[in-house]
Amino acid sequence: MFYSVLFPDSAAFSRQAQQENEPECFKDLNLGQVFEPIFKANKDFGLESLFYTPLQNTQVIAYRQDVMRELENDELRGMVAKFAKTVWSLGRRMDLTRKALASGRDGDNNYLAKGRMLDYAQRYCHAVSTLSGQLAGMTLRSEGLRGFSEYILSLCSSQRYKEFYSRVERLRGDFSAVEYCMLIKNGTIRVRKREGQPDLSEQIIKTFEKFRQGDVKDYRQNLPEESYAAHVEAAVLNMVAGLYRDTFADLNDFCKEYIRFDDETLFRFAREVQFYLSWLDYIRPLRAAGLPFQYPEISETPDDLYNREGFDIALAAFLLEKTVKNDFMLKKPEQIIVVTGPNQGGKTTFARAFGQTHYLASLGLCVPGREAKLYLFDHIFTHFSREEDISTLNGKLQDDLVRLRDLLSGASEKSIIIINEIFTSTTVNDAVTLGRYMMDALTALKAPAVIVTFLDEIANYGANTVSMMSMVEKDDLTQRTFKIVRKPPDGLAFAIYIAGKHGLTYELLSRRLKK
């Protein structure tokens, strides 16, 4: 029996504890920035925990990869997306309405709540019947979607569902004929059926038109057609019910009989499938810009890891077709990639991409690159430079060291380590000494790591170290290619060229300030 589109069975579903908080590595890897538009666009679904929970089971990852591959079909995705959005929001609202209707309080259990239930029921029937009709004609390959399709088809052909649908339509027709008038005076509202009185607003506008002098602030408001106090609206509706007795009695019966019309499994599907849809939506413009995505192989050992044409997905959202793609490879005994080279050459970006790709793969999503084998990790540890914060009353170097100590004591060989520009707030000699201590500790740990540094000494550390460099154009040293390639560190730097580019050499700046 179909249960979840994210897990092969209900047992796997309940085994996986959902993380409610953003993993620590998000900020440094800019993953928060990647997922934020997804969370924002799907606020109602509460997708956060799904994206905060990396999987550590290759079977579940494969189940998800299959579903996602199938959802890449535009037609199918369109139908499912529309359905999911409607049913999820109806389900959540219906929960509230059910609570209201179960309550003994007039304030909650009234004709407005019943009216809402009628409205939701109508929209629900429409969504379910539409999708069921569409799926009936399709052949589905993935275990997850095939199971779902069988489920919804059998639901729609049930007798109970058919009766429910026709009842909804009949009630709706009856209510469209109702019209009434309110007389409001001294805190009292009286109600009668509509009579033939003329429109007073029109008359007042005509009367005062002649005083208009010119433009003044417009005090008219765009008022919502909703009552401010629901209990007043409900009281009015109660009086209207006394004027149209049969129609409202019908509504009462309907609400009693069909109070649990919505289906829990459909509801769960509606939220879960949004996990795939939101990701496919997010990467659509990137794909359109020619950036490759793939379903990577997941490896339980770190002996042979690689990705071809990977990229920083957060940066790609801005750069699109200008995004530079880079490869990496770690083949035993290689364990640590050390990236050096000119500044703003894409070193940090490269390190981020390494971490991002691993993280995304662990969720069962398609990831940047053409072909990859990635590590099934337990935790990603990052160490990026941080702004000084007065509340800690700590110096920058001390902060670096404390964070490094915490990182090393929390990590295992199943972890992934990314360290970006550490020890920059001290002298070069100090930094080299501290950098070597750090490399000793990482070697002992055995976990795959990426280190970005300006210290060539670290790139030459040992056999487990792969040196990579950010590259520049041959003809114009100020032009970065943003390519990161395997290459020994060459000690060249280009800082003063860049200063010139910004008009900040002594001569250029003096000229600017004289103006």
Restricted to residues 81-140, the positions that interact with other proteins (CB under 8 A) are 111-112, 114-116, 118-119
Q: How far is CA 332 from the centre of its chain?
A: 35
Q: 303-362: which residues touch other proteins (CB under 8 A)?
A: 312, 314-315, 318, 343-349
Count the site residues for other proteins by CB under 8 A. 122
Nearer to other proteins, 314 or 442 (CB): 314
Nearer to other proteins, 11 or 390 (CB): 390
Which residues pair with residue 297 across a beta bridge?
373
Task: Calculate the CA 316 to chain-centre distance.
Answer: 16
Decide: residue 51, CB within 10 A, 0-12 exposed, 13-18 middle, 19+ buried: buried
Alpha carbon distance 447, 265 (integer Å):
41
Minimum CB separation from other proteins for residue 292, in Å?
21
Nearer to other proteins, 302 or 355 (CB): 355
Q: Establish if 197 lies at the interface with other proteins (CB under 8 A).
A: yes
- Kindly tell me which residue out of 331, 370, 405, 486 binds other proteins, with binding defined by CB under 8 A: 405
* Cα gap 328→345, rounded to integer Å: 16
Element (H, E) at 484: strand 480-486
What is the helix (H) or strand (E) element at residue 307, kind and residue range?
Answer: strand 304-310
261 binds other proteins (CB under 8 A): no
Tokens of 151: 């489920």
Distance CA 9, CA 23 (A): 26
Residues near 496 by beta carbon (within 8 Å), at least 6 away in sequence: 505
Per-residue binding letters, 434-453, with other proteins (x by CB under 8 A)? x--x----------------
Subset of 478-507 contacting other proteins (CB under 8 A): 493, 495-496, 498-499, 501-506
Q: Which amino acid is at 365?
A: L
**Near other proteins by CB under 8 A, which window of 37-45, 158-166, 188-196, 258-266?**
188-196
| Residues 30-89 contacting other proteins, CB under 8 A | 30, 33
Chosen residue from 208, 245, 444, 463 binding other proteins by CB under 8 A: 208
Q: Is 117 exposed, middle or buried (0-12, 13-18, 19+ CB in 10 A)?
A: buried
* Contact between 390 and other proteins per CB under 8 A: yes
Q: Nearest to residue 27, comparing CAs of 321, 468, 337, 385?
A: 385
Among 225, 246, 264, 475, binds other proteins (CB under 8 A): 225
> From the list 11, 17, 184, 444, which residue makes contact with other proteins (rule: CB under 8 A)?
184
CB 49 within 8 A of CB 42: no
Strands across the sheet containing 336-340: 379-383, 415-420, 449-452, 336-340, 465-472, 480-486
Region from 44-52, 148-156, 220-228, 274-282 binding other proteins, contact rule CB under 8 A? 220-228
Q: Which of 182, 249, 288, 485 binds other proteins (CB under 8 A)?
A: 182
Q: Which residue in 385, 443, 479, 481 binds other proteins (CB under 8 A)?
A: 385
Single out the residue of 356, 420, 465, 467 in contact with other proteins (rule: CB under 8 A). Answer: 420
Task: Choose the stretch contacting other proteins; rule: CB under 8 A; options: 24-32, 67-75, 81-89, 147-155.
Answer: 24-32
List the one residue from 76, 178, 259, 329 that touches other proteins (CB under 8 A): 178
